[in-house]
Chain A
Amino acid sequence: MFAAGNLSHLNSKDGAYILTADKMKPGQTVTGSVTLTNDGDIAGTFSFAKVMVVGSNVLGTGGGDFRTRLDLTIKEGLTTIWTGKIGDTIPAANMDLGTWAPAATHTYDFTVTFPDGGSGGADNAYKKASIAVEFDWTAVQ
C-alpha cells in the first residue's frame, strides 16, 4: 500500500488578527502572540510574509506616515526574528522559519510601538494615522 503524507499546520489565530490597536497615542505599545503547529505527518519548511494591506495606509492629519513610524518586533522566546519599521521590507532570510517536524510548535510574539517623539506636539502629524498589515504563513514539504 502506498499512502501520501499530509502537510498541514494549525494557526492559533487563523483568519484573525494577532494584534491591533485603535486610538493609539505616542509611547503606546501593543502586543500579541500566535502559535503555529505542524499538525501534518511529514516535516515542512515554514516561512512567513508581512503584507501591507492595499489602501490601508492613511496619513495622519499632519501628514505623518505610520509605515515609517511604528516599530514592529517579532520574537520567538528571547530570540528576535525581526525588528524594524512596520513598513520596512523583511529580508527573506528572516522570513525562513526553518524545517519543522510533525507536531512541532512555535509561538511568535509580536510587538508594535508608537514611539513617543517628545514634548511640544512632536507627534501631532500622526493624529488619526492608520495602517493595516497581514501576516501570512506557508509550509512546503
Chain B
Amino acid sequence: MSHKGAPGTKVKKAFLTLVVLALLAVALQSLVFSGANFTSSSGNPGNTFTAGTFGHTNSKDGVLVIDAAGLWPGGSAKTGTLTITGTGDFSGAYTLTKAGVVDAPAAPGLSNALTLRIEDITGAPQTLSNTTVAGFNTVGLGAIASGASRQYRFTLTYPTASANTALQSASMTLRL
C-alpha cells in the first residue's frame, strides 16, 4: 500500500524549505557585508591662495623725456619730467637704471661731457643723482605705494668746463 502525504503537508514542507533558504541567504549576506563599521568625517574647505598684482605706469613710457637739441657749453639746461604711478596690490621700491647710451662719434663721447641731474620733485625738490651721463648707472627712486605717484625731473647740462671742440655736432642717445 502506497503512502502519500496529504497535500497540506507538502505545502508546509515547501514553505519550510523556502524559509530555511531565505534565512540562509540572509546569513550569507550578513557574512558578505560584515565589514561595515563606524566612520566620522570633517572637512576644511576654502583654503584659497591668490597672488596679487604689481605694476606701475610711466607718463612717458616709450617716448623721450628730454629733447636736448642745440646744446653748447655753458648754454641753458634742458629739462623733462615724468610721473611714475604705482598700480596693483603692493607698494614697491623703484630704481631707475641706464639701459644704454650711444655716442656719435663714440669718442670722445658727448655722454662724458653732459651732466644729468635727476630729482624727485613730488614735494620739495630732492636731488637723487647728479653725474655725467656716462657715469650714471642706477639710482633708487624710493618706495611708491599702489595708487601713489611721484614726479621726477631730469636736467641735462653742458658745463663750460666740459667744452671740447671735438664734440661739435656730436650727438648722444640715452635710454633709461
B residues 15-31 in Cβ contact with A at 8 Å? none
Contact in complex: B46, A66 (CB < 8 Å) = no
A107-121 CB contact bits vs B (8 Å, 1 = yes)?
A: 000101010000000
Instruction: Give CA–CA (A25, B51) in the complex, Å.
Output: 6
Interface majority SS (helix, strand, loop, mixed), chain B? strand
Contact in complex: B40, A131 (CB < 8 Å) = no
Closest to A34 in B: B44
Among candidates B39, B46, B54, residue contacting A17 with C-beta atoms closer than 8 Å: B46
Contact in complex: B41, A129 (CB < 8 Å) = no
Size bracket of the B interface: 20 to 34
> Interface segment, A53-61, A77-85, A91-99?
A53-61
Given A21-B50, A25-B90, A130-B49: A14 touches B43 (CB 8 Å cut-off): yes
Given A70-B49, A131-B48, A135-B47: A25 touches B39 (CB 8 Å cut-off): no
A11-50 CB contact bits vs B (8 Å, 1 = yes)?
A: 1011111111111110000101010100010101000000
B33 contacts A by Cβ under 8 Å = no
Contact in complex: B47, A18 (CB < 8 Å) = yes
Instruction: Give CA–CA (A66, B48) in the complex, Å.
Output: 11
Contact in complex: A129, B46 (CB < 8 Å) = no
B46-62 CB contact bits vs A (8 Å, 1 = yes)?
A: 11111111100000000
